[in-house]
C-alpha cells in the first residue's frame, strides 16, 4: 500500500511538472534570466502596503511565472523568508516577454493608487516586509531551491523614506553598491529602465452632463510625468473644435445637444505622449424655476428647545427654511443648500421627489443636511441644479433660539421668534405669537359690544345704588353676567397691558378691568378705586366690564401696592390678576417670551408689545427678577411685566449684556415704575427679616 501511494505521488508530480514545462519557457528553465532591477523599500510615510520590487526578463524568450505555494512556484526571498506570489496577476498576466518588467507589490490596489499610469504586469506578494536600514533579497523556486539575483542593500545607498527608490543602473551588471543608485523621480520608475524617459500620463476631469451654451471646465491638472514634466495639452472636444495649450485647464461651451467624445493628449519635456478620453452629454438648455426662496434660518439653537423633535436640544437643531412662492407644487430635486461658497460645509443636494406644496414652508434641519451654520457670521445659499446662485443671505452674529426671518418686503429681520414650517407672517402658537393677538376687547363668544351682558341688567339700574362691595376673591365666584362692585388699589395703568385695560387688587386677590370709552390717563399707581361692572371672561381669564351700568371712582391716592413675592411654581388660577414678584433662572428664551424657574416650577413671562418694554439680552442660566400681573390665556398662566423696570437681570451668563432701559412716555411713569420696584424690594427685605 505504501509503495502504491508513493507511485501515485510521483506520477502526479511528473504530470504537474510536464504540464508546466509544456507551456512557454518557465522560470524553472531560466532562472538566471529573471533579475531584480528596482526596490521601493522605505516609502515616504507609512511602509505598510506601499513597498514593491521590480523584476526584469533579461532573456530572449518569454518567461512564465508560477504563483502559489507549490514546489515549482517562484518565491521572493525577503530577509530569509520565502514570500508567496499570487496565483494570478492583479494586472497583466503571469508571462513576461523578453525585455519586459513586472512589479511584485505588497498591495496591488495601493500600488495602482500610487502609480495610476502604470500599465505593466503587477503581481501581489503575500507578507512582503522590506527592511528600512538593510535587507537581503533574492529569487528562488520553491522553498529550498537555489537563490539567484541576490541583493543586499543598505539605506546609505539612497531611497531612505524620501519618496524615491533604489534603481539598478546596469540591469545586467552586478548587485554591488556601485551599480545601484537612488531614482531621480519621486515614486521611482516602476516598469521603466534606468535612464530612460517614462511617458507622461494624461488625466482630466469635467462634469458628465451640461447644457447647451454653458461653459464647462476641463481640468487636466492631475496629468503627470514621473521623470519630467508635462509641457503641452492638446484638446479635441468632439464637436469639430480642437486646441492646444500649455495651461492644464480650459473652458469650452457646446452649441448643440448630443454626446461628445473629448480627447486629451499630453506631451512631456522629452516629447513622449499619452492620451485619454471621456464622453460627455450636452442637453438642451433648461430654465430653472425661481419660485422657491430662503425664508428663515436658526443658526444658534439653545440648550432647551428641541426644534427638530428628536428628543434632544443640541446643535443638530439648526435649520434653514424654504418657502414655495409659486402657484404650483415645487420639486426641489437638484437644487442645493450651502453655506459660504469657498470652504465651509458640503452642499446638501435635494433628491427628486422632495416637493413643496403651494405656499408651503419647510424647515430643513442640520441632522439631515449636515450643514453647519456659524453663530458669529456665515452665509446661506440656495443654488439651482445648474450651479447658478438663486439666492444668498449673509448674516452677522446670531443669538440663541432667535431666528433671522424674511419679511413681506424681502428684508431680513434679526432676533425674530422662530416659526419653522410657517410663513413668517403667520402666528406660531408654539412660540407665543398668539399672545400678541390677545384681543382684550372681546369675550369668548367674540362679541365686542360694550353692552354685552348688560341687556339683561337694564331692569336693575336702580339696584346699582344699593350694590354691596365685595372682595375680589368673592366676586370671582359669582356667575358670569352678574353686576359686581369691588374696591382695591390700581396695579397696572391704562393702555399698558392692552387698550382700555387696567388691573386692580385688594388683600384677597387681583382682577382685570375693561374700561368704558374715555380718557383714563390720569389714573396712577396708588389710586384706591371703587369699580362696578359685569363679571365676564376672555380667553379663560375673569374680568369686570365697565359699561352702561358700571362705574369707576378714585377714592383716594395712597402708596402703590407692593408686589406679592411668590414661587415660580405657584403661578395659577388662585393668583390670576395679582401683582407678583419672582426671582429665578432663565430656562428658555425666544422673542418676547422667556421662562423662569426658581426650583419650584417653570413660569412663562410674556412682554406685551403695548408695554414698550425692550426685552433685556438674556441667555439660559441668567438670574432674573420679574414684577408683573398674573394673567391667563387659554390654558396657560403667565406673568405680564408692565414697565421696563419690571424685568431685571441679576446675574449674567459670562459674555452676555443687557439692554439699556427704554425711556418711558413721561417722567411720572418712570418714577412710578421705580417706586413700585423699590416698594417690592423693601417688602421682600422686611419679610426675610
Residue range 508-534: mean pLDDT, rounded: 93
Q: Quick check: 474 and 535 in contact, CB under 8 A?
A: no
pLDDT digits (tens, 9 = 90+) for 632-673: 988 899 999 999 999 999 975 333 333 333 333 433 343 334
C-alpha grid cell for residue 563? 408686589
User: Pairing mode, if any, of strands 579-590 and 593-597?
Assistant: antiparallel
Could you tell me where the beta strands, DSSP code E, fall in 241-383?
A: 242-245, 249-252, 258-268, 273-283, 292-298, 319-324, 330-331, 336-338, 348-349, 355-356, 361-365, 378-383
Q: Is the pLDDT of residue 86 over 90?
A: yes
**In contact, 118 and 190? CB cutoff 8 Å:** yes
pLDDT of residue 66: 94
Task: Indicate the helix (H) or strand (E) that contains 369.
Answer: helix 366-369
Partners of residue 181 on adjacent β-strands: 167
The proportion of the chain whose per-residue pLDDT surpasses 90, expressed as a percent, equals 59
Structural domain spans, the chain:
23-182, 209-283, 292-431, 455-557, 564-688
Name which residue leads in pLDDT, 571 or 228: 571
- Residue 25 has a pLDDT of 54
Burial class of residue 610 (count of CB atoms within 10 Å of its CB; 0-12, 13-18, 19+): middle
pLDDT of residue 466: 67
Given a contact cutoff of 8 angstroms between Cβ atoms, the answer to whether 581 and 565 are in contact is yes
Q: Hey, what CATH topology would domain 209-283 get? A: Immunoglobulin-like (2.60.40)
Quote the pLDDT of residue 646: 96
Percent of the chain with pLDDT over 70: 83
- The DSSP secondary-structure symbol of 671 reads H
Distance in angstroms (rounded) separating the CA atoms of residues 441 and 453: 14
How confident is the model over 12-39, as a mean pLDDT?
A: 60
In this structure, what C-alpha cell is assigned to residue 490?
390700581
pTM of the model: 0.37
Superfamily of domain 564-688: Nucleic acid-binding proteins (2.40.50.140)
pLDDT at site 538: 86
- Taking only the tens place, the pLDDT of each residue in 344-367 is 788 999 999 999 998 899 999 999
Task: Quote the cell numbers at residue 246.
Answer: 500649455
Q: Is the pLDDT of residue 14 over 80?
A: no
Class of domain 292-431: mainly beta
pLDDT the model gives residue 111:
94
Give the per-residue pLDDT at 434.
44
pLDDT band at residue 20, thresholds of 50, 70 and 90?
very low
Average pLDDT, whole number, for the chain?
83
Cα of first residue to Cα of last residue in the chain, in angstroms, is 113
23-182 topology per CATH = Immunoglobulin-like (2.60.40)
Higher pLDDT, 318 or 661: 318
Cβ proximity of 611 and 641 under 8 Å: yes
Task: Provide the β-strand partners of residue 672.
Answer: none
What is the model's pLDDT at position 459?
39
The DSSP H or E segment spanning 367 is: helix 366-369
| Separation between Cα atoms, residue 470 and residue 544, nearest integer Å | 13
Helices (H), 105-145: 108-114
Q: What is the 3-state secondary structure (H, E, C) of 454-494?
A: CHHHHHHHHHHHHCCECCHHHHCCCCCCCEEEEEEEEEECC
- Report the alpha-carbon distance of residue 138 to residue 145 in Å, rounded: 11
Contact by Cβ (8 Å): 77, 55:
no
Lowest mean pLDDT among 125-129, 288-292, 488-492, 568-572: 288-292
What pLDDT is stored for residue 408 in this prediction? 76
Question: Which of 497, 511, 502, 522 is closest to 642 using CA atoms?
Answer: 497
Residue 324 in 3-state DSSP? strand
* Amino acid 407: pLDDT: 82
> In this model, does residue 101 exceed pLDDT 90?
yes
Q: How much is the pLDDT for 19?
A: 43
Q: Among 8-17, 35-44, 488-497, 646-655, which is the least confidently predicted range?
A: 8-17
Give the least confident one: 79-88, 105-114, 271-280, 467-476.
271-280
* Confidence tier at 93 by pLDDT (50, 70, 90): very high
Residues 297-315 pLDDT 10s: 999 998 888 998 888 999 8
pLDDT at 332: 93
Same fold, 23-182 and 564-688: no
Give residue-wise pLDDT tens across range 152-208.
999 999 999 888 999 999 999 999 999 999 987 778 889 988 877 677 899 999 999
Q: Can you name the CATH fold of 455-557?
A: OB fold (Dihydrolipoamide Acetyltransferase, E2P) (2.40.50)
**What does the pLDDT look like over 228-240, one tens digit per residue?**
889 999 999 999 9
Lowest mean pLDDT among 191-200, 546-555, 567-576: 191-200
Residue 31 pLDDT class (50, 70, 90 cuts): low
Amino acid at each position: 500500500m505504501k509503495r502504491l501511494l508513493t507511485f501515485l505521488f510521483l506520477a502526479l508530480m511528473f504530470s504537474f511538472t510536464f504540464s508546466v514545462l509544456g507551456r512557454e519557457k518557465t522560470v524553472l528553465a531560466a532562472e538566471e534570466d529573471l533579475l531584480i532591477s528596482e526596490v521601493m523599500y522605505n516609502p515616504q510615510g507609512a511602509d505598510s502596503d506601499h513597498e514593491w520590487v521590480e523584476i526584469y526578463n533579461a532573456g530572449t524568450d518569454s518567461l512564465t511565472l508560477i504563483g502559489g505555494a507549490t514546489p515549482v512556484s517562484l518565491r521572493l526571498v525577503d530577509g530569509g523568508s520565502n514570500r508567496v506570489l499570487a496565483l494570478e496577476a492583479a494586472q497583466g498576466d503571469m508571462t513576461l516577454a523578453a525585455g519586459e518588467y513586472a512589479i511584485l507589490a505588497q498591495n496591488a490596489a495601493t500600488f495602482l493608487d500610487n502609480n495610476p499610469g502604470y500599465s505593466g504586469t503587477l503581481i501581489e506578494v503575500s507578507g512582503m516586509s522590506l527592511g528600512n536600514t538593510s535587507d537581503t533579497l533574492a529569487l528562488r523556486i520553491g522553498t529550498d531551491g537555489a537563490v539567484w539575483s541576490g541583493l543586499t542593500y543598505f539605506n546609505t545607498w539612497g531611497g531612505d523614506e524620501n519618496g524615491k527608490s533604489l534603481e539598478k543602473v546596469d540591469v545586467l551588471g552586478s548587485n554591488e553598491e556601485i551599480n545601484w543608485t537612488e531614482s531621480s523621480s519621486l515614486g521611482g520608475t516602476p516598469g521603466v529602465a534606468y535612464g530612460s524617459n517614462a511617458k507622461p500620463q494624461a488625466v482630466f476631469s469635467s462634469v458628465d452632463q451640461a447644457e447647451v451654451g454653458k461653459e464647462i471646465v476641463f481640468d487636466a491638472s492631475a496629468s503627470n510625468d514621473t521623470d519630467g514634466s508635462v509641457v503641452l495639452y492638446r484638446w479635441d472636444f468632439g464637436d469639430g473644435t480642437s486646441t492646444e495649450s500649455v495651461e492644464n485647464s480650459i473652458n469650452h461651451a457646446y452649441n448643440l445637444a448630443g454626446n461628445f467624445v473629448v480627447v486629451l493628449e499630453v506631451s512631456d519635456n522629452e516629447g513622449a505622449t499619452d492620451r485619454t478620453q471621456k464622453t460627455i452629454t450636452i442637453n438642451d438648455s433648461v430654465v430653472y424655476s425661481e419660485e422657491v426662496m430662503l425664508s428663515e434660518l436658526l443658526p444658534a439653537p439653545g440648550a432647551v428647545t428641541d426644534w427638530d423633535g428628536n428628543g434632544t436640544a443640541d446643535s443638530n437643531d439648526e435649520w434653514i427654511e424654504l418657502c414655495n412662492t409659486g402657484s404650483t407644487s415645487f420639486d426641489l430635486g437638484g437644487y442645493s443648500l450651502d453655506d459660504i461658497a469657498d470652504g465651509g460645509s458640503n452642499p446638501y443636494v435635494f433628491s427628486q421627489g422632495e416637493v413643496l406644496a403651494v405656499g408651503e414652508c419647510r424647515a430643513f434641519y442640520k441632522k439631515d443636511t449636515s450643514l453647519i451654520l456659524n453663530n458669529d457670521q456665515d452665509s446661506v445659499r440656495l443654488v439651482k441644479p445648474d450651479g447658478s446662485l438663486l439666492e444668498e443671505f449673509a448674516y452677522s452674529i446670531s443669538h440663541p433660539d432667535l431666528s433671522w426671518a424674511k419679511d413681506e418686503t424681502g428684508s431680513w429681520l434679526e432676533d425674530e421668534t422662530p416659526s419653522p414650517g410657517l410663513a413668517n407672517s403667520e402666528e406660531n402658537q408654539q412660540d407665543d405669537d398668539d399672545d400678541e393677538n390677545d384681543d382684550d376687547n372681546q369675550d369668548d363668544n367674540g362679541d365686542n359690544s360694550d353692552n354685552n351682558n348688560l341687556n339683561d341688567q337694564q331692569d336693575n339700574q336702580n339696584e346699582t345704588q344699593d350694590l354691596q362691595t365685595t372682595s375680589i376673591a368673592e366676586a370671582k365666584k359669582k356667575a358670569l353676567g352678574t353686576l359686581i362692585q369691588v374696591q382695591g388699589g390700581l396695579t397696572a395703568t391704562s393702555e399698558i397691558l392692552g387698550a382700555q385695560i387696567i388691573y386692580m387688587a385688594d388683600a384677597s386677590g387681583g382682577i382685570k378691568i375693561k374700561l368704558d370709552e374715555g380718557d383714563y390717563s390720569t389714573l396712577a399707581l396708588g389710586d384706591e378705586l371703587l369699580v362696578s361692572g359685569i363679571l365676564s371672561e376672555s380667553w379663560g381669564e375673569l374680568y369686570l366690564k365697565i359699561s352702561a351700568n358700571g362705574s369707576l371712582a378714585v377714592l383716594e391716592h395712597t402708596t402703590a401696592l407692593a408686589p406679592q413675592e411668590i414661587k415660580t411654581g405657584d403661578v395659577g388660577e388662585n393668583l390670576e390678576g395679582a401683582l407678583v414678584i419672582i426671582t429665578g433662572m432663565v430656562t428658555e428664551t425666544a422673542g418676547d417670551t422667556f421662562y423662569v424657574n426658581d426650583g419650584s416650577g417653570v413660569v412663562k413671562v410674556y412682554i406685551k408689545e403695548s408695554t414698550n418694554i425692550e426685552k433685556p439680552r438674556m441667555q439660559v442660566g441668567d438670574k432674573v427678577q420679574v414684577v408683573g400681573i398674573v394673567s391667563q390665556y387659554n390654558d396657560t398662566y403667565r406673568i405680564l411685566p408692565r414697565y421696563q423696570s419690571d424685568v431685571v437681570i441679576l446675574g449674567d451668563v459670562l459674555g452676555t449684556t443687557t439692554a439699556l432701559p427704554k425711556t418711558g412716555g413721561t417722567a411720572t411713569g418712570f418714577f412710578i415704575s421705580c417706586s413700585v420696584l423699590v416698594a417690592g424690594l423693601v417688602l421682600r427685605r422686611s419679610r426675610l427679616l
